[in-house]
């Protein structure tokens, strides 16, 4: 990537690794049907897709640090899984400004979640007790406790 320092490249690599880890652990936990706390960080629909995506990624990183702190302090009762959710479907992502922007940073389908990727989870949010916490003007963390969840093939 031209114009990026070695430090910038390392930071992007770490971000990409974290996003991959978050996505993988989320779907592994859901496929096992384990009881867990799920946090989906969804960007606002009132801002541009790039702003919403960046906001959800940054907020997810912040939430990840909070989870790590709980783990260190031994205060975590259930496994917690979280992931930022891009403010569009994978189909809408194709050819979008957001795809162009994120691809320049090395972020693509393999590390990103889209609205349609987690459709079953989002649908169950409407029927489960849900705690919505507004954390910034452009990101909302949706937290729910799952006793178990069945995913269809193709979601992974």
Please provide the DSSP assignment of 8-76 as one string: HHHHHHHHHHHHHHHHHHHHHHHHHT--EEEEEEEE-TTS-HHHHHHHHHHHHHHHHHHHHHHHHTT--
Query: pLDDT at position 120, please?
Result: 62
pLDDT at residue 132 is higher than 50: no
HSE at residue 28, side-chain half, CA atoms within 13 A, is 9
Residue 97 DSSP code? H
Query: pLDDT at position 2, please?
Result: 61
The structure tokens 């799952």 sit at: 146
**Tokens linked to 114:** 């889209």
Average pLDDT, the chain: 77
The CA–CA distances, whole Å, from 52 to 58, 75, 84, 112 equal 10, 31, 10, 13
CB 53 within 8 A of CB 84: yes
> pLDDT band at 129, cuts 50/70/90?
very low
Interacting residues of 67 by C-beta distance below 8 A, sequence separation 6+? 76, 80, 82
The CA–CA distances, whole Å, from 3 to 8, 13, 36, 104, 139 equal 9, 16, 42, 12, 30
Higher model confidence: residue 84 or residue 119? 84
Higher model confidence: residue 68 or residue 155? 68
Q: For 54-111, how does the pLDDT look when each residue is reduced to its tens digit (9 = 90+)?
A: 999 999 999 999 989 988 888 878 888 889 999 899 999 999 999 999 999 999 999 9
């Amino acid at each position: 990537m031209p114009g990026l320092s070695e430090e910038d490249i390392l930071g992007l690599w770490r971000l990409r690794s974290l996003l991959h880890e978050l996505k993988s652990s989320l779907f592994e936990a859901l496929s096992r049907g384990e009881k867990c706390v799920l946090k989906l960080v969804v960007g606002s629909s009132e801002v541009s897709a790039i702003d919403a995506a960046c906001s959800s990624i940054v907020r997810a990183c912040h939430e990840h640090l909070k989870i790590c702190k709980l783990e260190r302090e031994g205060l975590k009762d259930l496994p917690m899984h979280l992931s930022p959710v891009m403010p569009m479907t994978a189909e809408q992502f194709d050819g979008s400004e957001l795809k162009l922007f994120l691809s320049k940073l090395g972020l693509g389908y393999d590390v990103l979640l889209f609205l349609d990727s987690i459709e079953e989870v989002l649908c169950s949010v409407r029927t489960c007790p849900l705690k919505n916490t507004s954390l910034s003007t452009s990101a909302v963390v949706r937290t729910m406790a799952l006793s178990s969840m069945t995913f269809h093939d193709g979601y992974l």
